[in-house]
């Protein structure tokens, strides 16, 4: 324990200075990383042109429901629901 105390008393300031420099240089790098992320975000925002409307989402939801019904083996109730889905999709597409 005496050796450690002696070492820290002689070189403690140097060690703390080196650690502070490392922390400082590490924090400087985060600014450049933030700039890179901002540039990537702006590039992605320019790619996104238009969000789907509520009608588009409803149509896609109905189409996926119809695909799910077709993938199962149930018959009569599902055939009726499929025809209802087709009518709703046609109604939504015609009202665009």
Mean pLDDT per block of 10 residues along the chain (96 residues) reads: 86 90 78 84 80 85 86 69 87 82
Question: How confident is the model at residue 49, as a pLDDT?
Answer: 67
pTM of the model: 0.40
CB 15 within 8 A of CB 4: no
**Cβ neighbours for 95, distance < 8 A, ≥ 6 positions apart:** 55
Alpha helices in 1-96 (DSSP H): 2-47, 54-71, 76-94
Please state the domain extents for the chain: 1-49, 54-94
CB 94 within 8 A of CB 55: no
Question: How confident is the model at residue 2, as a pLDDT?
Answer: 86
Structure-token pair, residue 84: 């209802």
């Amino acid at each position: 324990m005496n050796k450690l105390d002696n070492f820290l008393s002689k070189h403690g300031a140097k060690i703390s200075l080196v650690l502070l420099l490392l922390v400082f240089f590490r924090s400087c790098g985060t600014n450049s990383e933030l700039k890179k992320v901002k540039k990537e975000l702006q590039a992605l925002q320019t790619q996104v042109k238009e969000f789907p409307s509520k009608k588009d989402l409803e149509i896609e939801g109905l189409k996926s429901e119809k695909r799910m019904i077709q993938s199962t083996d149930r018959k009569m109730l599902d055939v009726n629901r499929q025809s209802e889905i087709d009518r709703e999709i046609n109604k939504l597409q015609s009202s665009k």
